[in-house]
Amino acid sequence: MKSAACAPTQPHAPNAALAGGRRPRPCDSCRKRKRRCHLQPGDAACQRCRSNGAAACTFTDAEPPTTAPKRPAAEGFERPSLKRVERSREPNDESGTTAPMRTTRVIEDYDTLRGHSLLKKNLGLQQHRYLRFVGPGDEVEPRLFDYCSFDERDESRLPDGTYIRKVSADALFVLTPYGRTSVRAEELEDLDDIERLVAPHGSHLVKLFFKYVHPGFPVLDKETFLEKYERTHREFSPPCLAGIYLLAIHWWNYDPEMSSQPKPDVDALERLAKRTLQDVIHRPKLSTLQGGLLILQHRSVGEGTWALSCQMLAVAQELGVHRNCDAWRIPPWEKRLRRRLGWALYMLDKWMAWSHGRPSHIVDKDWLLDELREDDFPQEASDHQHEGSESCRPFEHMISLTKIIGEIMRLFYSPSVAEKGWSDPRPLLEAAKPVQIKLKAWYQSLPDWPQQERNTATVQLSYFAAEITLHRAILSSLTGLFCDPFITEVCRRAARERVTGAIKLVKNFQIDQFQSFWYFLTGRALVSIGTFTALLYATSRSVEEAGFYKTLLDDYRWTLRTLSRSLSHFEYAVQRLDASLWHFKHISPEDIARGVDADTASTPAPVVEATDAPDAHEHARSPLDRNDRDQQPPLPVSGRSQANNGHHTRPEDGGIGGGAHHSTAAGHDGGASEPFLNWVDITFPSPQGPDGVSVSASSLDNRDLFHWQRHGMDFFGRDWTYGNPPQSEPSLPWGFTQSLEEY
The tens digit of pLDDT for each residue in 281-329 reads: 999 999 999 999 999 999 988 788 999 999 999 999 999 999 999 999 9
Percent of the chain with pLDDT over 90: 47
Q: What is the pLDDT of residue 717?
A: 55
Q: What is the pLDDT of residue 251?
A: 95
Q: What is the pLDDT of residue 645?
A: 40
- The edge-to-edge listing of strands for the beta sheet with 171-177 is 129-134, 171-177, 163-168, 155-157
Q: What is the DSSP letter of 596?
A: S
> φ, ψ for residue 506 (rounded to 5)?
-65, -40
Q: Other C-beta atoms within 10 Å of 114: how many?
A: 6
Q: Is the pLDDT of residue 372 over 50?
A: yes
Distance CA(695)–CA(536), nearest Å, equals 26
Name the residue type at position 203: S
- 264 band by pLDDT with thresholds 50, 70 and 90: very high
The three-class DSSP label of residue 338 is: helix
Distance CA(24)–CA(412), nearest Å, equals 49
Distance CA(244)–CA(569), nearest Å, equals 19
The three-class DSSP label of residue 88 is: coil
Q: Which residue has the higher pLDDT, 16 or 733?
A: 16
Q: Is the pLDDT of residue 176 over 80?
A: yes
83-97, 374-388, 561-575, range with the lowest pLDDT:
83-97
Distance CA(79)–CA(118), nearest Å, equals 10
Q: What is the pLDDT of residue 17?
A: 39
Distance CA(544)–CA(264), nearest Å, equals 52
Kind and range of the H or E run holding 134: strand 129-134
Task: Answer yes or no: are the C-beta atoms of 366 and 322 closer than 8 Å.
Answer: yes
Q: Which residue has the higher pLDDT, 524 or 713?
A: 524
Distance CA(18)–CA(222), nearest Å, equals 29
Q: What is the pLDDT of residue 366?
A: 92
Q: What is the pLDDT of residue 420?
A: 81
9-13, 161-165, 560-564, 669-673, range with the lowest pLDDT:
9-13
Distance CA(372)–CA(324), nearest Å, equals 12
Q: Is the pLDDT of residue 334 over 80?
A: yes
pLDDT digits 0-9 by tens, 450-507: 555 566 899 999 999 999 999 999 998 887 555 778 888 999 999 999 999 999 999 9
Q: What is the pLDDT of residue 386?
A: 44
Q: What is the pLDDT of residue 715?
A: 56
Name the residue type at position 459: V
Q: What is the pLDDT of residue 478?
A: 86
The full DSSP string for 371-405 is: PP-GGG-TTHHHHTTSTTPPPSHHHHHHHHHHHHH
Q: What is the DSSP letter of 330?
A: S
Half-sphere exposure of 550 (CA within 13 A, CB side): 18
pLDDT digits 0-9 by tens, 661-687: 334 444 444 555 666 776 666 655 543
* Mean pLDDT taken over the chain: 76
| Cis-peptide, bond into residue 26, ω within 30° of zero | no
pLDDT digits 0-9 by tens, 563-579: 998 889 999 999 999 99
State whether the Cα torsion 530-536-538-544 is positive or negative.
Answer: negative
Query: Residue 165 pairs with which residues in a beta bridge?
Result: 155, 173
Distance CA(92)–CA(576), nearest Å, equals 49
pLDDT digits 0-9 by tens, 472-488: 999 988 875 557 788 88
Cβ neighbours for 461, distance < 8 A, ≥ 6 positions apart: 502, 505, 506, 522, 525, 526
Q: Is the pLDDT of residue 648 over 60?
A: no
Region 254-277: mean pLDDT is 95
Task: Answer yes or no: are the C-beta atoms of 655 and 678 closer than 8 Å.
Answer: yes
Distance CA(677)–CA(620), nearest Å, equals 15
The candidate with the shortest Cα–Cα distance to 512, out of 457, 580, 463, 591, is 457
Query: Residue 8 pairs with which residues in a beta bridge?
Result: none
Q: What is the pLDDT of residue 106?
A: 79
Q: Is the pLDDT of residue 342 over 50?
A: yes
Q: Which residue has the higher pLDDT, 728 or 265?
A: 265
Q: Is the pLDDT of residue 552 over 80?
A: yes
Q: What is the pLDDT of residue 4?
A: 41
Distance, CA of 578 to chain centre: 25
Region 584-606: mean pLDDT is 65
Residue 685, CA distances (Å) to 346, 655, 680, 696 in order? 35, 16, 8, 16
- 81 band by pLDDT with thresholds 50, 70 and 90: low
Q: What is the pLDDT of residue 144?
A: 86
Q: What is the pLDDT of residue 425?
A: 83
Task: Answer yes or no: are the C-beta atoms of 328 and 342 closer than 8 Å.
Answer: no
202-206, 366-370, 727-731, range with the lowest pLDDT:
727-731
Task: Answer yes or no: are the C-beta atoms of 73 and 80 closer than 8 Å.
Answer: no
Cβ neighbours for 706, distance < 8 A, ≥ 6 positions apart: 479, 539, 595, 596, 597
Residue 133, CA distances (Å) to 169, 176, 293, 309, 694 in order? 14, 12, 20, 20, 56
> φ, ψ for residue 172 (rounded to 5)?
-125, 155
Q: Other C-beta atoms within 10 Å of 253: how many?
A: 12
State whether the Cα torsion 210-211-217-221 is positive or negative.
Answer: positive
Distance CA(183)–CA(550), nearest Å, equals 58
- 180 band by pLDDT with thresholds 50, 70 and 90: low
- 639 band by pLDDT with thresholds 50, 70 and 90: very low
Task: Answer yes or no: are the C-beta atoms of 351 and 409 closer than 8 Å.
Answer: no
The candidate with the shortest Cα–Cα distance to 479, out of 732, 720, 676, 736, is 720
> φ, ψ for residue 168 (rounded to 5)?
-160, 180
Query: Residue 694 pairs with which residues in a beta bridge?
Result: 688
